[in-house]
Structure 1
Amino acid sequence: MSGQLNGWLVYKKDNAAKNEGFIRMLTEEAALIGINLALVFEEDLILGIKQNQPYLSHPKLDVANIRFAIVRTINPLLSKQFEYCGIRCFNSSFVSHVCNDKALTQQYVTQLGIKSLDTYFLSNENFNPKNLPSSFPMVLKQVDGHGGNEVYLVHSSAEIRSIFLDFPNKRFILQEFSDNPGKDLRVFVIGTNIIGAVLRESTTSFKANYTLGGQISPYHLTYTEITIVKKIISNLQADFIGIDFLLSKDNELIFNEIEDVVGCRSLYSTSEVNAARLYVEHINKAMKMG
């Protein structure tokens, strides 16, 4: 097709196997509006510097033929390499860098004046139990954890030390425990548009993630809640993200984290929203605008 827009959909091999449905929806929706979207595995890409220029290659596909990449893998370095090669990334390397590091995300959102839990940045190197300013229990998270994994409810500094010994080279955030555990809200955003929200609840765990067994239901944001979300997205300039909030006992939103490579199962399970269609339409519009 003359003038067809070519792009890559980048996944890790194991995650691609788990997300066959969404991959199919993205490629089919893209084809309907004249976009050729090829699935590419991160493991097959070679990147670096060659002849003093950014270098990116694939064993079978020609990088020169693509104009954009939907990066559904957590790799800010790869996203930045695409951009240095003149290829637009969805999401950008900036979003990938900030949103895949929980400490950086907390720093970013705090500058916007949005309420969050008290949070401390820790590692095995700088941990000193005498400097902990809050009482237990607390929640310890690896800064690069994803999908509710690498999150621990800790009741003592000894438990923290034990986890640090298991992961001596990892960085963590330590947060005060929510007064309303097992209940959170995910807001799905494409560009500057809120496309849906899902309430996640668990009666057996302080983690309410759908993939970890949490119950889900559609959620209708209030005007005040929409204002909070808009404040985050207007500054971040992301393409497709999930913004997670805890809910206090008074149902006040408390910022939790942002998912760069956001999963859509809970949204599809609770609404008629076609996130794949909305995402490729957003990409098509963004590419036309340059």
Structure 2
Amino acid sequence: MQHRGWIIYNGNLYSKKFSEQVEWLKTTALAFDIELTPMKNNELVVLIEGGKAIIKPPIELPDFVFFWDKDLFLARQLEELGLRLFNQASAIEICDDKALTYQQLAGHGIRMPKTIIAPKIFIDLTDTSHLSHVIESLGFPMVIKEAFGSFGEQVYLIHNEQELYDKVTELGNKPFLFQEFIQTSYGKDLRLNVVGDEVKAAMLRKSDHDFRANVTAGGKMYTYQPSEQEKDLAITCTKLVGADFAGVDLLIGENGEPILCEINSNAHFKNIYDCTGIDLTQAMLKYIKETIS
């Protein structure tokens, strides 16, 4: 029996990097007897009418959706219509918001950097009294991360009190968090790609000139064989956020122990293929096929 699915991608963020991976997914799907149709998120209008959730224009719904975007309103609407999303809206929401990620993982014994979520600001920062607690708890250098950001952007290394005040003033009412800087992981981290209950690929990322190891920020990729401890941590975190598949980024602690950095629900798969030769689309489509059959 052939299954039909949609790949939802962002219609206003569609570069060659995205289009190549969408076509890649389509091609892999055929090997699993799945017909995947690319759909821009702005092709599907979220409508509430007569007290019901509706998608416009009227269209035959697929068997499932590979939701490769962060349009949560659309994701929830599709789920309301009974569709199974990979990943589901709740997982995308948790992973997209770094503060929410850390709160979701708290209380489960997950090793994470010490983190302070910045108090909500509605217009401008006028009261900085909380910063004394931040400095006392984290010291310098510390990291500031905007709650929403990708590819290592919106992450800042803060060296002193003046830089701290300048950055929080600049950020204004954007949601962000303060975080302990893991010195032993300066310019290096691990990316483990989880599908279901397994780590399917992993790489070490290193930068010679930046505290961030992201490839987009100039980091280089190296094949890596993760330890059982690293794999267990990545799989546990993926399950705790409710993701079917994820790119889990780990920092490296003082004694080599893994420390959760963040979880990406919409992780790209081209870089890790270029690094390891492992085609994650095979594992993801196999997982989808087994789940919906």
CA distance in 2, matches of 1:107, 1:227: 20
Aligned residue for 1:207?
212
1:223 maps to a residue whose letter is E
Aligned residue for 1:270?
275
Query: Mapping of 1:114-263 within 5 angstroms?
Result: 114-123=110-119, 125=121, 127=128, 128-132=130-134, 133-180=137-184, 181-263=186-268
Aligned residue for 2:124?
none
Matched, 1:78 2:74: yes
1:16 is displaced (CA, Å) by 3.0
Identity of matched residues, %: 28
Moved over 4 A (4+): none
CA distance in 2, matches of 1:9, 1:262: 14
CA distance in 2, matches of 1:26, 1:110: 34
1:228 is displaced (CA, Å) by 2.1
Evaluate the alpha carbon distance shift between residue 43 and residue 172 of structure 1 in structure 2; reply closer, same or farther with a 3 A threshold: same
Aligned residue for 1:12?
10
Aligned residue for 2:92?
96
SS at match of 1:13: coil
Query: Mapping of 1:48-87 within 5 angstroms?
Result: 48-58=47-57, 62-87=58-83
SS at match of 1:107: helix
1:146 maps to a residue whose letter is S
2:247 maps to a residue whose letter is G
CA distance in 1, matches of 2:151, 2:284: 21
1:124 is displaced (CA, Å) by 6.2
| Farther off after superposition, 252-261 or 266-275 | 266-275
**1:124–1:165 contact (8 Å) kept in structure 2:** no
Evaluate the alpha carbon distance shift between residue 259 and residue 139 of structure 1 in structure 2; reply closer, same or farther with a 3 A threshold: same
1:76 is displaced (CA, Å) by 2.3
**2:248–2:263 contact (8 Å) kept in structure 1:** yes
TM-score, structure 2 length as denominator? 0.90
1:14 is displaced (CA, Å) by 4.5
Aligned residue for 1:107?
103
CA distance in 2, matches of 1:229, 1:216: 19
**1:22–1:276 contact (8 Å) kept in structure 2:** no
CA distance in 2, matches of 1:249, 1:23: 39
**2:65–2:85 contact (8 Å) kept in structure 1:** yes
Evaluate the alpha carbon distance shift between residue 124 and residue 54 of structure 1 in structure 2; reply closer, same or farther with a 3 A threshold: closer
CA distance in 1, matches of 2:169, 2:55: 37
**1:241–1:260 contact (8 Å) kept in structure 2:** yes
Evaluate the alpha carbon distance shift between residue 109 and residue 9 of structure 1 in structure 2; reply closer, same or farther with a 3 A threshold: same
CA distance in 1, matches of 2:28, 2:103: 36
CA distance in 2, matches of 1:93, 1:56: 16
1:208 is displaced (CA, Å) by 0.2
**1:75–1:96 contact (8 Å) kept in structure 2:** no
1:37 is displaced (CA, Å) by 0.9
Evaluate the alpha carbon distance shift between residue 68 and residue 159 of structure 1 in structure 2; reply closer, same or farther with a 3 A threshold: same
Evaluate the alpha carbon distance shift between residue 130 and residue 65 of structure 1 in structure 2; reply closer, same or farther with a 3 A threshold: closer
| Farther off after superposition, 214-223 or 118-127 | 118-127
1:113 is displaced (CA, Å) by 0.3
SS at match of 1:173: strand
Aligned residue for 2:20?
21
2:49 maps to a residue whose letter is K
SS at match of 2:14: helix
Aligned residues between the structures: 283
2:6 maps to a residue whose letter is W
1:221 is displaced (CA, Å) by 1.5
SS at match of 1:19: helix
CA distance in 2, matches of 1:71, 1:234: 18
**1:16–1:23 contact (8 Å) kept in structure 2:** no
**1:123–1:170 contact (8 Å) kept in structure 2:** no
